[in-house]
Each structure stands twice: as structure tokens, then as C-alpha cells.
Amino acid sequence: MNFLTRIRKFPFWSWVWFIFGALYFLVPLYATLRHSLRMERDVIGFKAYVRAFEDSNFWETFLLSNMLAVATIVASVILIVPTAYWIRLRVPEARRITEFITLLPFVIPAIILVFGLIRIYSSPIGIPFTNIDLLQPLTTSKLGTYALITAGYMVLAMPYMYRSVDTGMRTVDIRTLTEAAQSLGAGWFTIVTQVILPNIRSALLSGALLTFAIVVGEVTLASFLGVDAFGPYLFLIGQHRAYEPAALSFVTFLLTWAALGVIQLVTGEQGQGAGAH
Amino acid sequence: MAYLTLSNISKQFANSFAVEDFNLDIEKGEFVSFLGPSGCGKTTTLRMVAGFEIPTAGKITINDVDVTNNAPNQRNVGMIFQAYALFPNMTVAQNIGFGLRIRKEAESAVKERVQEMISLINLEKHADKYPYQLSGGQQQRVALARALANRPQVLLLDEPLSALDAKIRVSLRAEIRAIQKRLGITAIFVTHDQEEALSISDRIVVMYEGKVEQVGTPFEIYNFPKTQFVANFVGSLNTAEAEVIDPSKGLLSLGGMQLDSAEKMDDLRKGDKVHIAIRPERFSFASEQKKANVVDCIIENITFLGSVVRIQVMIGKTKFNMDTFNNPFLELPHIGEKTQVTCSREAVLILGSV
């Protein structure tokens, strides 16, 4: 092969676009890292990281957001997996409506959602024309507020969670697997927990990590519901400090990368299993 | 009372019947095949036995127990699917033991039964493998073992060999039949492949457009088809229109030539037009001594099919196929040659009036 042929075969434009895309992501990241390491004049060091981690508010808000994220993921799985499963199995004609509903959080801003939640759940909900209260105001107690914000997060994460689960179910023949399990004596709970869930675990993990990322960084719901979560904390220190937000942003990015690595690992393992039938 | 009975079963989807007034009694240990083209209702009927579809009308009983409205997981019916349907997240052993663990059998009993089933399908070395590590034939054997592990009352096989290549298909169907006979389990096998049905079954139910066309042994179905559909669907068949000359003697006229049939013609009269059918292998070239059922023909075409040579002949204005076994010394006529062919009077089947 002569030099000219090699030149012609080299995917020049592919590489140009690849490098351009890579720079688009890497330059701001590098700038953030560089900025976070220069808290002290003329010294490159981790002082911004140390200061950020020393702040007890960081740990408290970060822990709370993590707990809310876990609660959101668990509740979303409980709600969305059986729903998506049932729709695929029994009412496939409802898929379009469901997909439309799951896209609503993209159309309705979080601010509308949070005002709606506050409007409805800050006063008791009773049976019309009676004095009987079915539900006490949720915003008056911490637990109630956490339940409310978790529900709000579920709505925000729904497009990602539903789509991940639905895509996962598309890759396995859930109808035949369900029937095989039924013929072996399994009930619905067993089928969902032992047959369906393990076979969509990588899709579930993708949805869960996206949900986690949304919850940990979310500001609007937490601010208006008065929850001391990580999102509002990051927003607050971003307004008052110069270097710590950059350090925390970089750490968050590393955590996301680690999470993607986990997905890759699990997906790689399941990829082989998914082709099994 | 039969072991499995389907009484007046119908299944309606929207305005059309997938299965209509289906009746069948199956004895314990019997191997019955549902044979028919796509959309004839065979799989729907099987799914009603499995409990995946509830009949619009009728009753299904297994061992004298009415299971018509029972959920699939309350029927103790084993099912094998075309797509294998092994659980991808479980090993061969875990797949086979799944149903036993659902029943909460003791772990030692589960292990023992799993081992027994693995030995039955000769996959001892593959117990810890995942389905994706097995070939199609091996996966279907695991599916068979998984279905049998629960000791089901009835084994249902929904086109289990369709996804496999020809050689594996033949060997696996023999294996399925041998295991079914050894265990004495009642089985229903759905297929659109007549060769499969003829080779494996005790009885065949031929279905068409949701209705039963004929129920019989493979021998009866092939040799004595009751309807034109069965005659055309099972094996290859020559059909033609003939005229009744003398019903009491079984004499017919085919393109002006006389044919003798052994079939009863009690309800026919002289001059009636009927559909007749003759299998290609029932024809032979007429010898000089042969006088009955000898008809004149012209050789139209000769096709070599390996073990068989198919000769197309023109009798009157109708084309007929004649099959003869191949042998290296076979003397074949030439295309365009005038000759005579014959068949026994038992070979001339009457499928009904025109």
C-alpha cells in the first residue's frame, strides 16, 4: 500500500470531529481542575478540596441528598418496573400514552411542579363536603417534606427511569420468559423479582444512576420545599466562594465517571447473558 | 374418561374465531400433535391448555379436574417454547431447578432432581453454563428438562424444533419422543411440519381455520385423508375431478378412462361429480398383465429428487405426479412418450362431491 492510498484511507474528518468533541468536554474540565488547584497564590495544591471537605454542611447535605436519591430510586423502581412490564405484557396499546406522560417533566418546569406540590400538600386533604381529613399537610413535618420531595424527584427522573427500563425490557423476550415462569408455577412477584429484574439490571442501573445524578444536583424543588440538600448547598457556596465549588464540581464529575465505569462493567457482563435466548 | 379432555372449546378474538368447537380426548401417556398451517388455531388451542388463553366457550379437564379458568401457574403443565425461553440470568442447573424451588421443595431434593434431569438430557458437563454458552439444540434440551423437572401432568410443546437446523431437528425429535415414552407423560406437540407430526405422534389432529379437519393416527391421516384439505396438506397428492359411473361397483370416469375405487359410494349416484385423490407413490407403470385401473398417459416431465424420481404424467387433461424409488438401474421413459400407468383400487380416494 503506497503513501497516497494510506492518506486516502485515513478517516481524516472522523478524527477532526472526534478531537473537536473531545476538546469541547475536556477543556472546561481541565479549566475547572486547574482553577480548583490554585486556591493559594502561586502554589498548586488541594487546599480548596480540604476546605470543601472540612465543611460539615457539605457532608450533611451530601448525605441527605444521597439518602433522598436512594429513596427516589427505590420508589421509582417499585412504581416504574411493574408499570412498564404490565404495559409491555398486557396493554401495549397504552405505550404511547405512557411515553407522553413520562415526557411531561421536560415540558413542565420544576418550578411549576414544586408550586403545585406546595399548593396541594401544604393544607390537609379531606373528603369533599365533610370534615374528614384523609391526609395531613405534608410540608409541616420533615418526614412529610422528604416524602414530598422524593415524589417530586420521581417525577423529574421519570423520563430517564421509564425509558431505561422500557429499553431494557425490549432487549429480552419478557412475554415468553413470563409464560415460561408461569408454566413452572411462578406467581407475579416471583416473575418480576427473579426473572424480569435480573435480566434488565444494566438498564435499571443506568436509570438509577441518571436518577442519582438528577437528585444530587437538583436545586429548585429542594430550595422551595426548604430541604437542605446538596444542590442548594452547591448553589450557595458558588455565590460566596471561588475555589471550593470548582473542587466539588470536579469531585462530582469523578464520581459520575466511576458510576459510568460500574455501568460498563455490569453491562459488559450482562451483555453476554442477554443474548441467551 | 380420558386423561385430558377439551370439550367444545372456542376462542374468539374480536369478531373472528381462532378456534371453533374443538373437541378432543387424550389418553394418559399419549403423544398428540396439532398439525396445520399458520393461523389455523393450533397454538391458540395449546395456549388454552396451558392457561395463557381462557376459552370463550367450552371446558378443559386434566385428570378429571376442570382447569378451564385456572391460572397457568395452578395447572402443573410443562411448556416448551420455540424460542427456548430459558432464563438468561440462570445457569442450566438453576433453570432446571427453578420450578422446584418455586414449589419450596427441600434443597437436597431439588439438587437430586436437577441431577436426574441433567442426566436425562445428557448435559452433565454443562450444568454450570449459562444459556448463551449452549447451542440451540442444547438449550432446547435444557428447556425440556426444566419442563419435566416439575413432573407436569401434561407436557406442551409449541413448535420446539422450528428454530433448529435440519439435522438437530431430526435427532432432537427422536430424543423428545424417547423421553416422553420412557416417562409415560401425556404430550401435545404443535407443528406445521407434517414430517415431524407423522414421525413423532401417536395421533395427529389436523386443523384448518380454527376447526378440526381430522383426528387419527399418522397412518390414517396419510393414507386415508377425510377431507380435501387434509389430503392436500399432508404429503403430496394428486387431486382431480371424476364422474361416478357405477356407485355400487365403485367405478369412476377420469377423462374418459375408467377408474375403480374401493371407497364407499353409498350416498353417490351415477353422474355425480366427485373429487378424487391419488398419492404419487401409489402409481406405477402398468405391466402387460395388469388390466384394472390402467390409464393412458403422456410423460410430461421427470425430476430427480435423490431417493425418489418424480415423473409428471398427463392423464386426459389432468397432470399427475408419480413417484418411484430411485435405483441405479431404473429405466425411465422419455419425455413425450405415450405409456400406461396404474394404481390399486384402494389408492383412489374420494374426498367428496364437487
Interchain CB contacts (distance < 8 Å): A and B: 87
Residue that the C-alpha cell 385401473 belongs to: B293
A4-32 pLDDT, tens per residue? 777 777 888 899 999 999 999 899 999 99
Residues of B in contact with A190 (CB under 8 A): 102
Q: Choose, out of B89, B128, B142, B159, the residue to mutate when testing the contact with A (most A CBs < 10 Å).
A: B89
Are A232 and A223 within 8 A, CB to CB?
Answer: yes
- CA of A197: which chain B residue's CA is closest? B89
Q: Do A198 and B71 touch (CB under 8 A)?
A: no
From chain A, which residues contact B within 8 Å (Cβ)? 172-173, 176-177, 179-187, 190, 194-195, 198-199, 272-277
Q: Judge whether A17 lies within some domain.
A: no
B6-57 pLDDT, tens per residue? 999 999 998 889 999 999 999 999 999 999 999 999 999 999 999 999 999 9
Of B34, B28, B325, give the one whose Cα is nearest residue B190: B34
State the Cα–Cα distance between residues B120 and B149, nearest whole angstrom: 10
Distance from CA of A159 to the nearest CA of B (A): 27
B335's grid cell? 419425455
Q: Judge whether A56 lies within some domain.
A: yes
Of A186, A194, A275, the CB nearest to B73: A186
Q: Do A185 and B103 touch (CB under 8 A)?
A: yes
pLDDT at A273 over 60: no
pLDDT, position B257: 86
Q: Judge whether A146 lies within some domain.
A: yes
Residues of B in contact with A269 (CB under 8 A): none
Of B21, B22, B23, B30, give the one whose Cα is nearest residue B3: B30
Pairing of strands B31-35, B203-208: parallel
- CA of A173: which chain B residue's CA is closest? B85
Of B80, B77, B223, give the one whose Cα is nearest residue B164: B80
Of B50, B102, B131, the CB nearest to A277: B131
Are A15 and A23 within 8 A, CB to CB?
Answer: no
Of A155, A152, A148, A153, give the one whose Cα is nearest residue A123: A148
Are B60 and B15 within 8 A, CB to CB?
Answer: no
Helix (H, G, I), strand (E, B) or coil at B25: strand
Residues of A in contact with B46 (CB under 8 A): none
pLDDT, position A275: 40
Q: Judge whether A99 lies within some domain.
A: yes
State the Cα–Cα distance between residues A49 and B5, nearest whole angstrom: 76
pLDDT, position A276: 37
Q: Judge whether A271 lies within some domain.
A: no
Residue B117 forms contact with A (CB below 8 Å): no
Residue B98 forms contact with A (CB below 8 Å): yes
pLDDT, position B14: 85
Q: Judge whether A16 lies within some domain.
A: no
pLDDT, position B106: 94
Pairing of strands B257-260, B294-304: unpaired
pLDDT at A217 over 80: yes
Q: What would the mean pLDDT of B286-306 be, rounded to a whole number?
A: 85
What CATH number is given to the structural domain containing A175? 1.10.3720.10
Other residues' Cβ atoms within 10 Å of the Cβ of residue B25: 15
Q: What would the mean pLDDT of B145-153 be, rounded to a whole number?
A: 94
Q: What would the mean pLDDT of B135-147 be, rounded to a whole number?
A: 94
Q: Could you give phi then psi for residue A255, rounded to 5 degrees? A: -60, -40
Residue B87 forms contact with A (CB below 8 Å): yes
Q: What would the mean pLDDT of A262-272 be, rounded to a whole number?
A: 62
pLDDT, position A130: 81
pLDDT, position A220: 94
Percent of chain A having pLDDT more than 90? 55
- Total count of domains within chain A: 1
pLDDT, position B329: 84
State the Cα–Cα distance between residues B274 and B33, nearest whole angstrom: 30
Residue B38 forms contact with A (CB below 8 Å): no
Residue that the C-alpha cell 368447537 belongs to: B21
Residue B83 forms contact with A (CB below 8 Å): yes
B60-111 pLDDT, tens per residue? 999 999 999 999 999 999 999 999 999 999 999 999 999 999 999 999 999 9
pLDDT at A277 over 70: no
A164-216 pLDDT, tens per residue? 999 999 989 999 999 999 999 999 999 999 999 999 988 898 898 889 889 98
Q: Judge whether A228 lies within some domain.
A: yes
Q: What would the mean pLDDT of B248-259 be, rounded to a whole number?
A: 88
- CA of A200: which chain B residue's CA is closest? B89
Q: Do B147 and A183 touch (CB under 8 A)?
A: yes
- CA of A175: which chain B residue's CA is closest? B85
B163-210 pLDDT, tens per residue? 888 888 999 999 999 999 999 999 999 999 999 999 999 999 999 999
Residue B72 forms contact with A (CB below 8 Å): yes
State the Cα–Cα distance between residues B138 and B91, nearest whole angstrom: 13
Residues of B in contact with A181 (CB under 8 A): 87, 98
Of B50, B75, B132, the CB nearest to A273: B132
Are B223 and B216 within 8 A, CB to CB?
Answer: no
Give the mean pLDDT of chain B.
Answer: 92
pLDDT, position B236: 84
pLDDT, position A175: 93
Of B71, B76, B83, the CB nearest to A277: B83
Residues of A in contact with B163 (CB under 8 A): none
Residues of A in contact with B87 (CB under 8 A): 177, 180-181, 195, 199
Angle between helices A95-107 and A56-89 (to 10 degrees): 160
User: Using 50, 70 and 90 to split pLDDT, how confident is the model at B311?
Assistant: very high
Q: Judge whether A117 lies within some domain.
A: yes
User: Using 50, 70 and 90 to split pLDDT, how confident is the model at A272?
Assistant: very low
Percent of chain B having pLDDT more than 70? 99
The residues with which B314 forms a beta bridge, in sequence order, are: B298, B319
Of A187, A198, A276, the CB nearest to B86: A276
Q: Choose, out of B43, B44, B73, the residue to mutate when testing the contact with A (most A CBs < 10 Å).
A: B73
Residues of A in contact with B52 (CB under 8 A): 179, 182
B332's grid cell? 425411465
pLDDT, position A271: 47
Q: Do A182 and B51 touch (CB under 8 A)?
A: yes
pLDDT, position A269: 56
State the Cα–Cα distance between residues B68 and B58, nearest whole angstrom: 8
Could you give the strand order of the β-sheet that contains B16-26, starting from the edge strand earlier in sequence? B16-26, B4-13, B57-62, B65-66
Of A236, A244, A259, give the one whose Cα is nearest residue A32: A244
pLDDT at A1 over 70: no
Q: Do B85 and A277 touch (CB under 8 A)?
A: yes
Domain coverage including residue A108: 44-265
Residues of A in contact with B48 (CB under 8 A): none
Residue B3 forms contact with A (CB below 8 Å): no
Kindly provide the b/e burial profile for residues B175-192, where b requires at least 16 CB atoms within 10 angstroms of the residue's own CB.
bbbebbeeeebbbbbbbb
Q: Over B287-345, what HEC string results? A: CCCCCCCEEEEEEEEEEECCCEEEEEEEECCEEEEEEEECCCCCCCCCCCCEEEEECCH
pLDDT, position A266: 67
Residue B145 forms contact with A (CB below 8 Å): no
pLDDT, position B314: 92
Q: Is B250 left (phi over 0), alpha (psi -120 to 50) or beta?
A: left
Angle between helices A56-89 and A174-183 (to 10 degrees): 80
User: Using 50, 70 and 90 to split pLDDT, how confident is the model at A123?
Assistant: confident
